[in-house]
Amino acid sequence: MRNLSVGWQVIAIIAVVVLSGLAVKLYVSRGAKISQAQLLERIEQKSNVCILDVRTGREFNSGHVPGAININHRQISANLDRLKPYADEDVVVYCELGVRARMAQRTLAKSGFHRVYHLVGDMAAWREAGLATETPALQAEQQPAS
């Protein structure tokens, strides 16, 4: 009877270890996150951070996080050279709702970018919070005259 009890304890321990491993893998696969408040603080402090909008060009042109660059999520791999200068800096990715940003985050992580953060809530939450956005026309107006 005692051997049966020990057997169940061993099975329970193995189950806990396996489930813990799966939970960690799921957490890691989702990647690191950054809140809107944290990103705003980084923008205001003019910190070295690459803000990467992975939506379509049309979505980007309708309004984006100030200072963001636009590379469609499907073009991340083809544009790694363009992103290389940011390889050792924090990179914040976002899209409209999160699916494309998570895909881009995984692609960047697999390509050697180790400080990639997903903006919590993405552009939908940014807009809903009434936070500042830029459009290409507004950016051109803000450029100093040469």
Same domain flag for 102 and 51: yes
For 58-110, write each residue's pLDDT tens digit.
999 999 999 999 999 999 999 999 999 999 999 999 999 999 999 999 999 99
Strand 90-94 relative to strand 32-34: parallel, antiparallel, unpaired? Answer: unpaired
Q: Of 68, 83, 56, nearest to 126 (Cα)?
A: 68
- Alpha-carbon distance of 96 to 137, in angstroms, equals 21
Residue 9 has pLDDT above 80, yes or no: no
91 with 131, same domain?
Answer: yes
On whether the CB atoms of residues 108 and 73 are closer than 8 A, the answer is no
- Chain segment 20-49, per-residue pLDDT in tens: 544 434 444 458 999 999 999 999 999 899
Same domain (yes/no): 92, 117:
yes
SS (H, E, C) 54-90: CCCHHHHHCCECCCCEECCHHHCHHHHHHHHHHCCCE
Cα–Cα distance for residue pair 15/10, rounded to 1 Å: 9
pTM of the complete model: 0.74
DSSP β-bridge partners for residue 92: 51, 117
Q: Are residues 71 and 12 in the same domain?
A: no
**Together in a domain, 50 and 94:** yes
- 3 and 61 in a common domain: no
